Amino acid sequence: MSLNKEVKRVTTNTLHKMKLNGEKISMLTAYDFSFARIFDDAGIDILLVGDSASNVMAGHETTLPITLDQMIYHAASVVRGARRSLIVVDLPFGSYQGNSKEALHSTIRIMKETGAHSVKLEGGEEVLESVKRIISSGVPVMGHLGLTPQSIYKFGTYAVRAKEESEAEKLKRDARLLEEAGCFAIVLEKIPAILAKEVSESLSIPCIGIGAGKHCDGQVLVMHDMLGINTEFKPRFLRQYLNLHEIITHAVQNYITDVKSRDFPNDLEQY
Ligand code: KIV
């Protein structure tokens, strides 16, 4: 990864040290140049080019339709915007589940065509061969356990995962396997806080939570949710920091009023 002299890039090593020092890791999704630049300048540690782009950028109901080409478009835009953050790109549904060769091929396209620093994929034991193959090529991998939205039709619901003993045991085993395979971090999505605490404390790699409670080593949110662009999604775990939907609506309404009333543009706003 290219290291700019003035800005010290966050690396997987930085994250490892942060966990050792008990410093929490901040992560947000980003899908375009402009927001990536704002979040990066604000000091975010990790930018995730999430396949949630399928929902919040493209308006699909699930993350399944987004393609590798579309992820590459978003990721390349984010890379151009970020100078400091570590950039993680989701391998989209269908780009890695088939076999580990395909997973590596998809990863290589992401790395070559976007300039991102790492990839994320969903699942544990089922995708372990792919995880190992990608890591052996030199690309850092972030795991993702708990609620894995690419498997929504298997779960049938977006409810909290791993409340049952057997699923919690499988999650703990998967987390260990991902760590042993060499993942640099794992996202834990929508699982009981007590389980996330146990997993985070048992691993030496950082666990980044979303709806997984305060004991994770870091937190991630989808930017549209935390900025209040997306107003319909209000799960208990979400803290909304802004009501951008309302702010933008007012701005657009004022603009419409000014255009209709001939107030805009005025004499100073023309050539
Ligand atoms: O795609 C995404 O935004 C994610 C986060 C919810 C972790 O995977």
Burial bucket for residue 186 (CB in 10 Å: 0-12, 13-18, 19+)? buried
**Which secondary-structure segment (H or E) carries 64?**
none
pLDDT at 99: 94
pLDDT at 155: 92
Give yes or no for residue 222 CB within 6 A of ligand 1: yes
Whether the model pTM is above 0.85: yes
C-alpha to C-alpha distance for 105 and 260, rounded to whole angstroms: 53
Domains and their CATH numbers in the chain: 12-240 (3.20.20.60), 243-271 (no CATH)
Active site residue 189: yes
Ligand 1, pocket-test mutation among 27, 46, 51, 60, most atoms within 8 A of CB: 51
pLDDT at 232: 87
User: Is the link from the previous residue into 235 a cis peptide, with omega within 30 of 0?
Assistant: no
C-alpha to C-alpha distance for 10 and 23, rounded to whole angstroms: 13
Q: pLDDT digits over 120-163, tens only?
A: 999 999 999 999 999 999 999 999 999 999 999 999 999 999 99
Q: How far is the CA of 50 from the centre of ligand 1 (A)?
A: 5
Which parts of the chain sit beneath pLDDT 50?
Answer: none
Percent helix, percent strand, percent coil in the chain, to nearest 5: 45, 15, 40
